[in-house]
Amino acid sequence: MSFETASLLVLLGVAVGGVGTLVGAGGGFLLTPVLLLVYPHDSPRTITAISLAAVWANSTSGTLAYARQRRIDLRSGIVFGIATLPGAVGGALLVRYVPRHLFNGLMAVALGAVAVLITIRGERPHARRSGAVRVIVDRAGREWRYRVPEARGVLYSVAVGFVSSFLGIGGGVIHVPLLVRALGFPTHLATATSHFVLAVMAGAGTITHAALGSFANGHGVRRAASLSVGVVAGAQLGAHISTRLRGRAITLLLAAALAALAVRLLYAV
């Protein structure tokens, strides 16, 4: 891989990491479709392995940034993170058997469906009278009080772990809407907590891919390394910008990006 190619991948990583951290999606929802278009001859398992490795770097960097802001619901994050592990391993195993054209179509449908769901249902959580009470006070002194139905969150996390590892999208693109709409999280806390869960899930998926040889050769490893350098820097930028945006703006940004990529992938099928 040439220096120019590596530099472009680093810049791509910065952009993906910034947007991914901003919306709490880890960047994989953007990176996997882009890699599918840039490397049309690579197998789905190689694409997802590279993407998950970058998501791991992004989510870990983003988690550190959000931890400094004190916006992570750590109790929920630990429980949900552990729940994603079986699905994360299973998704990495199954993607080896999926043809490229089918994978492209599945990715496009998944991205489009989530974009539509977010646009229709909005971002305001339902008020809840049951569930574990959470009180989070961030570094700026803002306080959030809400309830979390933990058992339901565990079930969702098992499914999210599988789908996100299978598609290589990291899971935040699915997890953030679920945390907000189904579990009652405030949007800013959902993006921060999702990043913590992503770090656990993407790490398990990446390790599984490495053990299976999904990176194929040194090119896959070098691509993942170049992207990871970029996403680490981008994650810090995205976390900083998130403090200046309202929750609704974050949600609409996510929906617009998903819809655009879904259309492009369907065109490539």
3-state secondary structure 158-223: HHHHHHHHHHCCCCHHHHHHHHHHHCCCCHHHHHHHHHHHHHHHHHHHHHHHHHHCCCCCHHHHHH
Whole-number percent of the chain with pLDDT over 90: 25
pLDDT in tens, 228-255: 888 888 877 777 776 676 666 666 776 7
**pLDDT above 80 for 203:** yes
Q: What's the mean pLDDT when you consider all of the chain?
A: 82
- Does 90 have pLDDT greater than 90? yes
Contact between residue 172 and residue 195 where contact means Cβ atoms under 8 Å apart: yes
What pLDDT score does 129 carry? Answer: 62
Looking at the structure of the chain, the number of domains it has is 1
User: Would the CA dihedral through 239, 242, 247, 252 be positive or negative?
Assistant: negative
State the average pLDDT over residues 207-227.
85
Structural domain containing residue 263: 3-268
Task: Tell me what pLDDT residue 26 has.
Answer: 58
- In the prediction, which pLDDT does 116 show? 75
Residue 176 has pLDDT above 70, yes or no: yes
144 bridge partner residues: 136
| Pick from 6, 15, 2: nearest CA to 231 | 15
- pLDDT at residue 85 in the model: 94
Query: Residue 123: pLDDT above 50?
Result: no
Instruction: Write down the pTM of the prediction.
Output: 0.78
Q: Which of 37, 19, 40, 38 lies closest to 28, judged by CA? A: 19
